[in-house]
Structure 1
Amino acid sequence: MFLYLLAIALVLLFIHVLFNYNVRARALRKIPGFRDDFIIGNALELWLPPVELFKLPRKYAQKFERIYRFWSFPFGAVVIYEPSDVEKVLSSTKHNDKGILYTILKPWLQDGLLLSSGAKWQHRRKILTPAFHFNILKQFSVTLDENSRRMADALESAKGEQVDVVPLISEFTLNSICETSMGTQLSDETSTAAMEYKNAIYELGKMFVERFTKIIYLIDFLFAMSTIGKRQEKYLNTVHTFTKRVIKDRKEYVERFGIDINEDNIDNEDTFYLTKRKTAMLDLLISAQKKGLIDNPGIQEEVDTFMFEGHDTTAAALAFALMSIANDQSIQDKIFVELDEIFGKSSRPTTMDDFSKMHYLECCIKETLRLYPPVHFIARRLGETVQLDNYTVDEGTICVILIYDMQRREDLFKDPLKFDPERFSPENNFKRHPYSYIPFSAGPRNCIGQKFAMLEMKSALSAVLRKFRLEPVTRHSDIEITADIVLRTSHPIYVKFIKREHL
């Protein structure tokens, strides 16, 4: 019996040394970080409820000034939140691969623009870049304004009662991305499917977090056999069924009316032009398919990616913006002054020229994205060995960038928990490191749709604030963030909408 136990102990010791003291693990151990447990390294640190899991990186970001590490074989990561280190990683095309953290999204988004790398990413980016040309955004602004005004009109029925803004905003952003980039208007027939789609995305986010926290679920066949794996399949089917319907509807439209773009120049944004009818991003993909540049699965990948990123992240930002503006009357009054200077007492539609004059509102949006970045972290697989905070980090290591923590650092943003739009006024905008504020990422893989997102947020907020004064219900101190792929709260965000007196 003694020899049997000794043999087991030796095997476990061998596994511990093999997993936790190989070359990569030894290199990472030079960086400060989590306490190591026998054999499993740091894996148990992640076994926390979602709210506590979100707090964990915050705890370590406060404990370690600029960098720390995580190790649980075969997963090793270095975590950074120092602008100069972030710049080294994001500014180089050598670190464009997203790495293992994003593999949990593969069943959903496959090789869409968010997850693809190398030549495929470059090819897809080239196809899709013209979809966010200024002239297309100008056309989209009409649709965004119409949706924004409908949303503001719907708030009339609230009659000053508190409103849970997340469902309201989520419906607006989903309608907007469908009617603009996808060229498909949601009907009464598809409204139920749209609701199921939004619910499925929320549920998938929870499952992705659970899979990430339990390292064993990173083994695909074990995850597929688990209860959560089977539930994920159900929600993925809901999501893909909805986006396939969107693609089908637009293809039928194209078959009847054609595509309003110069197909000969589909891969050249410099010679891209528009005709009179609105052009959807999906049209670019359909046109690229006709030229043999993309296939049906490729279109599905990009539509799934942009449907998610185009509505969910923007909805989160708008919810936090409404809450933040409601909580500071002086800020709200400055927005009213700006909007009244642009529109007076008119209820006319908003033009692109009007949007360009919303300087202070833009500062409010940027400050929201600083304090509550919807994409609160990003990750890259290092394509070569780099020096980060005087530590040598080997090629192949996953580098996690904590956007949320970096943008709340007191040495970078004075009084960082205060909502202060003046940080982004022209006189203050150039006093910080360019990589200290990256809500849309940065470098070659920055968010392709950031101008669209800013336009959408300006449209929604200006439409609401032209009609209503916001009164606070949920305070900044009430916000409790739960771990998810997008910044979400564990409780609803409530705001009151009071009709402005001069209207």
Structure 2
Amino acid sequence: MELDFLPIPLTWVLLAALSVLFYLYCMRPMNMLKKMGIPHPKPLPVIGNMHQTMKTGVWNPDAQVERINKFGAVYGSYMGRTVYITISDPEMLREVFVKQFHKFTNRAPDGQSLNIKPSCRMMTQLVDEDWKNVRSTLSPAFSGGKLKHMSEAMNTCADVLLKNLGKFAEKGESFDSKDLTSGFTTDVIARTAFGLEVDSQGNPEDPFVVYTRKPFAVAFRNPLFWLFFLFPKIMKPILEFFEYSFLDKDVSSFFYNVVDQVMGMRQTEDKAHRHVDFMQLMMNAHKEDDDDDNKEEGTQVQGTKQPLTRDDIVANGFLFFIAGYETTATTMGFLLYNLALHQEAQDKAREEINQVMEGRELVDYEAVNKMSYLEMCIHETLRMYSPASGVVRVVGDEVKMKWLTLKKGMNVMIPILGIHNDPKRWPEPKKFIPERFTKEEREKRDQYDWLPFGAGPRNCIGMRLALMELKVGVARVLRKYRIVPGPDTDIPLKIMKWKQFPTPENGIKLRVELL
């Protein structure tokens, strides 16, 4: 077919038009970093710099350090058509996390998350005032006053952990540190979150354990994930129309059933015998008063406390579980590994624990707050093996930081692994040196050189609970056992780069000796 007024076929006209549209859609946005004067690796059409990410993986400290050394403390990249500005400059981090936080409130643009319940009601997905209100409602659940009531449950779970370790001590066999710590943290979260007595350490096939350990459907092998990642404006309405969620439906249904059952039981309970756990606190948090020991400089959120819906409770109960058990178990596993390889540090931690516990039976809230050296060991482990490789903040309004001007809608990436392994910040970053976290050393260092929980008002809400859980579990272990490497212990560990959390290829094999 030809047009009367054109000497060429209409097909060629359409192909030319499509080529122009392709360029405008896929290539034009990839000139933005060059115009801004931000150094960046050369992008490819459509995928941007994703091919380089595919090569280096997700959890890769060396790759982050290499990019910072090559491009500087501020550099850019393209994930598909989306621009990311990676910032590791301490002054700029202070602007992002605290000073101009009102312009960096959100973790992801509204167009890059699906409005499908319950996932969209997770605090990690909420934006602006909605996030502030839910955060203000849930924050009291993690106050010191609430944590004091959870120590008994943590110690009960630690009893089972010690019993299991005793079996390996008797046989002289190696155990996988992550397997044991995962059972411990699962039991702790089940009790402190839902008031449920789940014996995942003894029965890994318990339905609660099976469903809560199922991963999100968001996997690199899922083509819909990649399509949504590359073309969010196109895929978002399609996926929402079909109510497609990257969270397995059977997992979602299971948690709705758990929440309904627990809420039903709680409504008939006598107030004097109510549980003190996250579930109960979510149900009545809007009626609670803030505890004054939960206030930390630069981390307060000024929102309106409000009742939570059923969807809110399911979403954040599930979030609390998956974010709590996996990250804490991972950190605890690596902590035991570090202590096994550094017996002097283990002895020093044990000596402190025994001194604090003299005359005490329970490793409670007051006790763990006196274990400063154990905390230093935890902080150093979190520096070396941070569960999060990085955090993202979205520019809510045009912002200026030093020489850099960012426009609304841009994404800022903070490379946690690169910062934690920067030899200028941390000399000999591959070495386990707890003394980096003495009071004197911390005062010398910029507070944004250590970011395993993020920073500012949108830091990890469960940080204090995670640290207490780690201290209780490890303190109980070190009082009774010595952790040592075995013949099958990998030194150093070989970390899988494509996992979301630091995951050793061959596990963390250790041995234990009765003191």
Identify the residue that residue 270 of structure 1 maps to in structure 2.
none
Question: What secondary structure is seen at the aligned counterpart in 2 of 1:37?
Answer: coil
Identify the residue that residue 264 of structure 1 maps to in structure 2.
none
Instruction: Label 1:365 to 1:279 Cα distance change in 2 as closer, same or farther (>3 A).
Output: same
Unaligned 5+ runs, structure 2: 1-7, 288-304
Q: What one-letter code is carried by the residue in structure 2 that aligns with 1:287? A: N
Identify the residue that residue 343 of structure 1 maps to in structure 2.
357
1:79 aligns with 2:86: yes
1:156 aligns with 2:170: no
1:492 aligns with 2:483: no
Asked if structure 2 preserves the Cα contact closer than 8 Å seen for 1:46 and 1:53, the reply is no
Identify the residue that residue 311 of structure 2 maps to in structure 1.
297
Instruction: Label 1:122 to 1:207 Cα distance change in 2 as closer, same or farther (>3 A).
Output: farther
Q: What one-letter code is carried by the residue in structure 1 that aligns with 2:424? A: D
Report how far residue 22 of structure 1 moved: 4.6
Identify the residue that residue 141 of structure 1 maps to in structure 2.
151
1:314 aligns with 2:328: yes
Question: What secondary structure is seen at the aligned counterpart in 2 of 1:497?
Answer: strand
Distance 1:102 1:60 in 2: 25
Q: Deviations over 1:253-310 (max 9, x none)?
A: 31221456xxxxxxxxxxxxxxx75422211332369998222112112112111122
TM-score, length of structure 2 as denominator length? 0.82
1:93 aligns with 2:102: yes
1:201 aligns with 2:226: no
Asked if structure 1 preserves the Cα contact closer than 8 Å seen for 2:390 and 2:413, the reply is yes
Identify the residue that residue 480 of structure 1 maps to in structure 2.
495
Report how far residue 388 of structure 1 moved: 4.9
Instruction: Label 1:6 to 1:363 Cα distance change in 2 as closer, same or farther (>3 A).
Output: same
Distance 2:117 2:504 in 1: 25
Asked if structure 1 preserves the Cα contact closer than 8 Å seen for 2:49 and 2:80, the reply is no
Identify the residue that residue 283 of structure 1 maps to in structure 2.
280
Asked if structure 1 preserves the Cα contact closer than 8 Å seen for 2:422 and 2:429, the reply is yes
1:35 aligns with 2:42: yes
Identify the residue that residue 69 of structure 1 maps to in structure 2.
76
Paired residues for 1:159-170 under 5 Å: 159=169, 160-170=172-182
Distance 1:293 1:117 in 2: 17
Q: What one-letter code is carried by the residue in structure 1 that aligns with 2:160? A: R
Question: What secondary structure is seen at the aligned counterpart in 2 of 1:430?
Answer: helix
Instruction: Label 1:249 to 1:241 Cα distance change in 2 as closer, same or farther (>3 A).
Output: same
Q: What one-letter code is carried by the residue in structure 2 that aligns with 1:123? A: N
Q: What one-letter code is carried by the residue in structure 2 that aligns with 1:134? A: G
Report how far residue 40 of structure 1 moved: 4.3
1:414 aligns with 2:423: no
Q: What one-letter code is carried by the residue in structure 2 that aligns with 1:482? A: K
Question: What secondary structure is seen at the aligned counterpart in 2 of 1:122?
Answer: helix
Q: Return the structure number with greater helix share.
A: 1
1:112 aligns with 2:122: yes
Distance 1:187 1:370 in 2: 31
Question: What secondary structure is seen at the aligned counterpart in 2 of 1:441?
Answer: coil
Instruction: Label 1:197 to 1:361 Cα distance change in 2 as closer, same or farther (>3 A).
Output: same
Distance 1:108 1:34 in 2: 37
Report how far residue 141 of structure 1 moved: 0.8
Identify the residue that residue 299 of structure 2 maps to in structure 1.
none
Q: What one-letter code is carried by the residue in structure 2 that aligns with 1:480? A: I
Asked if structure 2 preserves the Cα contact closer than 8 Å seen for 1:46 and 1:213, the reply is no
Distance 2:113 2:505 in 1: 25
Q: What one-letter code is carried by the residue in structure 2 that aligns with 1:44? A: H
Q: What one-letter code is carried by the residue in structure 2 that aligns with 1:139? A: H
TM-score, length of structure 1 as denominator length? 0.84
Identify the residue that residue 250 of structure 1 maps to in structure 2.
262
Calculate the aligned-residue CA RMSD, in Å.
Answer: 3.5
Unaligned 5+ runs, structure 1: 261-275
Distance 1:210 1:393 in 2: 30
Report how far residue 17 of structure 1 moved: 4.9
**What fraction of aligned residue pairs are identical, expressed as a percent?**
23
Q: What one-letter code is carried by the residue in structure 2 that aligns with 1:180? A: T
Q: Deviations over 1:416-455 (max 9, x none)?
A: 1111110111121111111111211111111221111110
Paired residues for 1:218-229 under 5 Å: 218=232, 220=235
Distance 2:504 2:217 in 1: 14
Distance 1:352 1:53 in 2: 35
Q: Deviations over 1:375-413 (max 9, x none)?
A: 221101112233456332222101111111111111111
Instruction: Label 1:451 to 1:196 Cα distance change in 2 as closer, same or farther (>3 A).
Output: same
Q: Deviations over 1:205-240 (max 9, x none)?
A: 666899369844745479969xxx99x76x612432
Report how far residue 98 of structure 1 moved: 1.1
Distance 1:49 1:381 in 2: 24
Question: What secondary structure is seen at the aligned counterpart in 2 of 1:470?
Answer: strand
Distance 1:197 1:464 in 2: 28
Asked if structure 2 preserves the Cα contact closer than 8 Å seen for 1:375 and 1:439, the reply is yes
Instruction: Label 1:155 to 1:23 Cα distance change in 2 as closer, same or farther (>3 A).
Output: closer
Q: Deviations over 1:125-152 (max 9, x none)?
A: 1221221122211110111111112212
